[in-house]
Amino acid sequence: MSIMRDLAKLAAEKLIYTLETPREVRREQRARRCVKREPWMTRYFGMLPMSLHVWWSGRRSRRGKNTPGA
């Protein structure tokens, strides 16, 4: 029963905060959070996705040069 009380208290606090703060302040905070955070691909998989992308794009450009008659 204590867990439900804690959840209800947390939800009430979030609701009150949302209602009391101006929309511009909340948007500014959200924008700051998004800028500060690194992309999810890098966060979860490190440099592997970026290295695969570089390799794949280089492969694609080399394939066009090796075609006969080009």
Q: Which residue has the tokens 């080009």?
A: 70
CA distances from 54 to 19, 38, 39 (A): 46, 19, 17
pLDDT-derived band at 11 (thresholds 50, 70, 90) equals very high
Mean pLDDT of 23-44: 85
Q: Cα torsion at 50, 51, 53, 57 (round to 10°)? A: 140
Which residue blocks in 1-70 are alpha helix, DSSP H? 2-20, 23-36, 40-45, 48-65
**Residue 54 predicted with pLDDT over 60:** yes
pLDDT-derived band at 70 (thresholds 50, 70, 90) equals very low
Mean pLDDT, the chain, whole residue set: 83
Mean pLDDT of 21-38: 88
φ and ψ at 69, to 5 degrees?
85, 0
